[in-house]
Structures are given as structure tokens and as C-alpha cells.
Amino acid sequence: MNNRIDSHQHFWILDPVRDSWIDDSMQKIQRDFLPEDLGPLLSQNQFSGCVAVQASQSEEETEFLLDLASKNDFIKGVVGWIDLRANNISERLKYFSKHEKLKGFRHVVQGEPDDFMFRTAFRNGIEALKEFDFTYDILIFHRQLPAAIDLVKSFPEQKFVIDHIAKPDIKSGDIASWKKGIEEISKFENVWCKISGMVTEADWDNWKSSDLKPYLDVIFENFSADKLMFGSDWPVCNVASDYKQLVKTLEDYMSQFSIEDQNKIWSENAKSFYNLND
């Protein structure tokens, strides 16, 4: 299987001010990460392509990722950033819609107040996405799941995907309230989920696959094989894992599933959700 798609990774040229979230505890990723760093990892692990996701909140970020995508065939899609709250949101979406590799948008809602997804200006932006067939990546902490549930219910025609399984507190082993939220949000037909970002919510230095298993069990029990996709969250994952270990952890877990279902999760679902070209 060498047609896998990594549905979630990042590129950046490190800017200490803009990227202040990459603090000294994350020294492993305090440097530039560009396509020439990722390309070999993808081919070594049987991936034919990836989706580059915004890491900073500016239209310049979106242009930066689109420029990289135009120069690297293996970047199959881009999830950019746009100010969804802007009065001229439709105009900006129209401007960006000319880029075939731009598939959707994301806002770092995990850094916003818990009522952010209820705000009218934000919801106006979500409503505007549909005209251009853009997807939306939901980046939240698990405590924000109730607001996300209301959002996806309010926009049944909009395609959503939950990043990083909504960031449960894997390190503490706390699962109950997150599980309840996942059970509820997974019922909506317009919601997918990325199997990504788990190791960075675990104990970076001491996690083992058995720590992740209860959370994977919940995800697989609630989202069908048609609604899950793999994402590495590279290079952020490097603080707790390496690319190969991450892939092997999921390979081992999914060995119990049919080849057909494995193919969906490794590639087909990302291709159909983001409308990626081979």
C-alpha cells in the first residue's frame, strides 16, 4: 500500500514571535520544517501525498502553503486560514477559490473563549464556506465539544472534520466527558474525524500504545471506517514520537480490520473528504 495520504501536517519557517507556542519544552521542533524534510518520510512510510494545514492565523500563511503546494506535487491539498469573522468573507473566499489545491480552512479555536463557536460573525463565515465547497477543520480541546456539537448541528450541509480527536487528556487517562462528546458529535452525517495529535496529548516521554488504545476504541466504535482518516500532525508529533513509530502504532491497532477498511482510513476518506486529485 503506497498510496496513503497524511491528512494533517504542517510547514513553517520558524518565527520566534509568531510561533511563540513552540516554547522551550518543544526544542525538537524549534526550527524550520519544509517539504524537503517531509518528502523522504512520506515515501519511507508508503505515503503518496499529504494535506498541509495552517499553523498560524494569517492569509500570508495560506499563501505560503499554496506556494509550497504549487512546487511540490505530493502536497495534494491545503487547509488554510482566513478571517471567518470578516465582513468581506465572501469576497476573500472567492479570491482564494481560484486555487485548486485549497480545500478548506481552520481557525485555532482551542485558543479562543469557549463561546467562540456560538458567535454570529464566526457562524457567518462558516455559512459562507458552502458556496465554494470548502471544508472546515475543527481544532478544539475536549471541553469545547458541546459548542462544536451545536455548530455541526446548525450547519448540516457543511463538511466538518475534527482534528486530533478533539484533544482528550490522554496523559491523565481522563476519558468520560470526552467520550460522551464524541458519542454525540459522531452521530452527525457531516462530521469526520482525524486520528491525529494523540501522542502530544499523552505523556511525551513515556507514552505507550496501550495508553492510546482506550481513546482509539472510542473513536472507532463511534465513527465508522468511512469517517476516519490518519494524520501525523508532523512535525508537532516529533516532541513525543517519530513518524515511523506513529504510523506503526496505528498499523498495529488496525491489523484487526479488513484491508478495505484500512485503505479507507489510510487514504480513501482523506481523498473524498478533501476532494484530492491523484
Q: H-type helices in the chain, by residue range?
A: 35-44, 59-71, 89-96, 120-129, 145-154, 176-185, 209-222, 243-254, 259-263, 269-274
Q: Which helix (H) or strand (E) holds 107?
A: strand 102-107
What is the distance between the alpha carbons of residues 238 and 218, in angstroms, rounded to a whole number? 25
Reading the block at residue 119, the C-alpha cell is: 458567535
Spatial contact of 138 and 79, defined as CB atoms under 8 Å apart: no
Provide the CATH number for the domain around residue 67.
3.20.20.140
pLDDT at 84: 98
pLDDT at 67: 98
Per-residue pLDDT of the chain (278 residues; tens, 9 = 90+): 569 999 999 999 999 999 999 999 999 999 999 999 999 999 999 999 999 999 999 999 999 999 999 999 999 999 999 999 999 999 999 999 999 999 999 999 999 999 999 999 999 999 999 999 999 999 999 999 999 999 999 999 999 999 999 999 999 988 999 999 999 999 999 999 999 999 999 999 999 999 999 999 999 999 999 999 999 999 999 999 999 999 999 999 999 999 999 999 999 999 999 999 87
Domain count, the chain: 1
Residue with cell 477559490: 97
pLDDT at 278: 74
pLDDT at 265: 98
In which domain, by residue range, is 198 found?
Answer: 4-274
pLDDT at 1: 52
pLDDT at 2: 65
pLDDT at 277: 85
Closest-CA residue to 92 (of 58, 118, 116, 64): 58
Reading the block at residue 251, the C-alpha cell is: 498499523
